[in-house]
Homo-oligomer: A and B are copies of this chain.
Amino acid sequence: MAITVVGSIAFDSVKTPFGERERMLGGAAVHFALAASFFEEVRVVGPVGDDFGERELDVLRKRGVEVSDIERIEGGKTFFWRGEYGWDLNSRETLDTQLGVFEGFDPKLSERSRSSEVLFLANIQPELQQRVRKQLPEARFVALDSMNFWIEQQREPLLSAIASVDCLVLNDAELRQLTGRPNVVSAAREVLSWSSPSPALRGPSVVVAKQGEYGAALVTNESFFALPAYPLENVIDPTGAGDTFAGAFVGYIAAHPAEELSDELLRRAMAHATVLASFNVEEFGTERVERLSGEEIVARLQELRAITQFSGD
């Protein structure tokens, strides 16, 4: 099932204790699309400015990502983010954010993008997420990411958006903030209890709590699953790890439509997501994932299984 992703396409200037990059390709939709492209056809929807060139588009095209709904705004500037990470990469400071063409963005989806059976609403204004959701009423699997800013500033629209999707992907601290519940398991169960007022929309049946360097947890009404992050001695740049995780998670699910969201499918999707995210953080921005191979994914997946297994008593 093809995937449409709506979200930011950006230039990121990033400094970590291990180096820095100026205006590298980034943004949630980009990281998501590159990761998902290992599993399914991906269509990216989002705005860029005059400063966004063929070189950037080629990064996506090379991975087979459909870029015709990337809208170039004449005279506009691409979304820009500058940030710096602390010594253990667990804290980061935003030094500059320039919305550029994202200000006043009104997503326009081509017929092709609207025909996707899977939709990912990356972290953007909740009202835009809702508007896009309504353009794909028949989508079979819809997932959504958000952030603390929208939880604080746009709570009601965000709750409506969440009630219209199948899967919420959020950092664990944001999941606590969203629900007011201090415990991640009970916070996830709270989200699972939210349903849409419209019977056509389903309300979330899957919650993924991203835990950064600690891994991620998956909560459904039937099951709980947790995976540690793949152990790396050298993490260079965590930017985009969460979107890469989401891209592989959603991408893997989209590539296996027959299984109807079985617990086993969701767990394998979590494992693939963990592996893709681990590659993402090994280098700056999209550098590592751009040249990633399917063989490398399979090899690391086997290692991930090995480091999480234990036998009976």
The residues of A with any CB-CB pair to B shorter than 8 Å are 17, 87-89, 176, 182-186, 189, 211, 213-215, 217, 223-229, 231-235, 264, 267-268, 270-271, 298, 301, 305, 307-313
**A269 CA / B301 CA spacing, docked (Å):** 24
Q: Are A215 and B234 in contact (CB under 8 A)?
A: no
**A186 CA / B309 CA spacing, docked (Å):** 22
Which listed residue, B87, B183, B217, touches A235 by the CB 8 Å rule? B183
Q: Are A227 and B228 in contact (CB under 8 A)?
A: yes
Q: Are A232 and B311 in contact (CB under 8 A)?
A: no
Residue of B nearest to A310 (CB): B267
Given contacts A214-B215, A217-B231, A233-B189, contact A310 B183 (CB under 8 A): no
Q: Are A226 and B224 in contact (CB under 8 A)?
A: no
Which listed residue, B88, B189, B225, B235, touches A308 by the CB 8 Å rule? B225
Q: Are A307 and B214 in contact (CB under 8 A)?
A: no
Q: Are B228 and A185 in contact (CB under 8 A)?
A: no
Which listed residue, B89, B211, B264, B311, touches A264 by the CB 8 Å rule? B311
Q: Are A185 and B232 in contact (CB under 8 A)?
A: yes
Given contacts A185-B233, A226-B228, contact A298 B310 (CB under 8 A): no
Given contacts A211-B214, A298-B313, contact A225 B185 (CB under 8 A): no
Residue of B nearest to A216 (CB): B228
Q: With both chains docked as a complex, state the minimum distance between the C-beta of A16 and any C-beta of chain B, in angstroms.
A: 10
Q: Are B308 and A226 in contact (CB under 8 A)?
A: yes
* Residues on B with beta carbons closer than 8 Å to the beta carbon of A176: 88
Q: With both chains docked as a complex, state the minimum distance between the C-beta of A174 and any C-beta of chain B, in angstroms.
A: 12
* Residues on B with beta carbons closer than 8 Å to the beta carbon of A307: 223-226
Which listed residue, B234, B301, B310, touches A268 by the CB 8 Å rule? B310
**A226 CA / B211 CA spacing, docked (Å):** 14
Which listed residue, B227, B268, B313, touches A311 by the CB 8 Å rule? B268
Q: Are B224 and A217 in contact (CB under 8 A)?
A: no
**A151 CA / B188 CA spacing, docked (Å):** 37
Which listed residue, B189, B267, B308, B313, touches A301 by the CB 8 Å rule? B313
Q: With both chains docked as a complex, state the minimum distance between the C-beta of A216 and any C-beta of chain B, in angstroms.
A: 9
**A308 CA / B228 CA spacing, docked (Å):** 9
**A158 CA / B162 CA spacing, docked (Å):** 50
Which listed residue, B225, B231, B298, B311, touches A224 by the CB 8 Å rule? B231
* Residues on B with beta carbons closer than 8 Å to the beta carbon of A229: 226
Residue of B nearest to A272 (CB): B313
Q: Would you list 14 pairs from A and B whose C-beta atoms are within 8 A, ordered by A residue?
A: A88-B183, A183-B234, A184-B231, A189-B233, A215-B228, A217-B228, A225-B310, A226-B228, A226-B231, A227-B310, A264-B310, A268-B310, A298-B313, A308-B308
**A235 CA / B185 CA spacing, docked (Å):** 10
Q: Are A310 and B213 in contact (CB under 8 A)?
A: no
Q: Are A305 and B301 in contact (CB under 8 A)?
A: no
* Residues on B with beta carbons closer than 8 Å to the beta carbon of A185: 231-233
